Amino acid sequence: MAEKNLDFDTVIDRTHTNSLKYDFAVQRGKPKDVLPLWVADMDFQVSSYIQEALSGNVAHGIFGYSEVEGSYFEAVAGWMSRHYGWNVEETWLVKTPGIVFALAQAVRAFTEPGDAVLLQQPVYYPFSQVIRDNGRKIVDNTLVQGEDGRYRIDFTDFEEKIRSCKVKLFFLCNPHNPVGRVWTKEELLRLGDICERYGVIVVSDEIHADFVFEGSHQVLAGLEESYRKFVVTCTAPSKTFNLAGLQVSNIFIPDDALRRKFEQAVGASGYSQLNTMGLVACEAAYRHGEEWYEAVKAYIRENLAYAQHFLEEQIPQVKAVEPEGTYLLWVDFRSLGLSRRELEDLIVKKAGLWLDSGDIFGAAGRGFERINVACPRSVLSEALERLARAVRECVK
């Protein structure tokens, strides 16, 4: 059987499909005809192998409580081994309906109300939400942007915050959403050693690991054997294979004591078996999705290059941060000198776009916008042309 869904140029109408990205603009305060490049899912059909696996399950016609047998783990473990040289054990695996769910359970499992949890803003906004909503204290080791636009970690501040705030838990985002950094082995070892020294548990969100364009993805828990005692690794097929709506994530926790605490928190939430379709899709993706993945990764890389070139040539006032990973472009609008309200007006009303405002990623994101480029080239081109016209009008 050959892969059939390798056409990423055709625009597929996603309206009237209950798509969060396309069907809920008005409910979220946006014009009905806004062009959405915000939430991180793709506008591409999934691998035909995944479609066929799901169709076979539907044809059976019974959707009772489901679990997985050894073939599921073999598929997941095979992917981790082939792509990252990381050999996982089946006992480490805890399946959850999403990584944000897992983050919330980690907060409950490993900290008490009032405890400090460290993150690195600007960062994926649910990190802050699950900390705050569970009555914990957010401590921010703000990433530092150099003159070259590249973000770096302030390690002195990182260690000082851990020490002075008595940090219990650290949320690492690698590759980093939204700034696109792929942390190097040296950076991760420095982070890991500091956390080990102070007894900080690390939850490493590695959901974007399959989209690395510069360098290579390093699994934190795989760098040192001692890291297994305090690192929780969060993975999922959802970004890689466009399966977000099927709600399945694979969380690896090598340490028995940490895993028991995490499983207890998951159990206390009332959750048990995952979505049957999510399990089917995940196994099919990791077992048969390689060709589709390589093709979509190449297409997205070209989209990123296209967008960067367009911005440089057509909107030089707007600067895109060079992305090392993810299919999300982090764009700096600060040179326009606009207030938050004025920038929102430029993006939404004048350009007719729905992007993710940098404000939601923390104070360090103010003046930025996040653009999802996982869409047909014609859609990306239209969005950038709209943006160019709006900016030109703004700077007249």
Prediction pTM value = 0.96
How many other β-carbons are positioned within 10 Å of the β-carbon of residue 254?
Answer: 20
Give the per-residue pLDDT at 273. Answer: 86
Nearest to 183, CA basis, from 217, 147, 213: 217
Pick the CATH number of 51-288 from 3.40.190.10, 3.40.50.360, 3.30.70.260, 3.40.640.10: 3.40.640.10
313-354 pLDDT, tens digit each: 999 999 999 999 999 999 999 999 999 999 999 999 999 999
Q: What CATH code is assigned to 26-46+290-394?
A: 3.90.1150.10
Distance CA 337, CA 335 (A): 5
How confident is the model over 109-118, as pLDDT tens digits?
999 999 999 9
Per-residue model confidence (pLDDT) at position 267:
95
Whether residue 126 is preceded by a cis peptide bond, meaning omega within 30 degrees of 0, is no
CB 281 within 8 A of CB 53: yes
Phi first, then psi, for residue 81 (nearest 5°) are -70, -45
- pLDDT for position 394: 85
For 160-208, how does the pLDDT look when each residue is reduced to its tens digit (9 = 90+)? 999 999 999 999 999 999 999 999 999 999 999 999 999 999 999 999 9
pLDDT tops 80 at residue 138? yes
Planar angle of CA 334, 373, 40, nearest 5 degrees:
95
What is the pLDDT, as a whole number, of residue 214? 87
Confidence of residue 48 (pLDDT cuts 50, 70, 90): very high
> pLDDT value at position 1?
73
Give domain limits for the chain: 26-46+290-394, 51-288
Residue 253 · residue 259 · CB < 8 Å: yes
Q: Give the pLDDT confidence score for residue 268 in this predicted structure.
A: 95
Q: How high is the pLDDT of residue 345? A: 96
CA angle 279, 87, 40 (to 5 degrees): 45
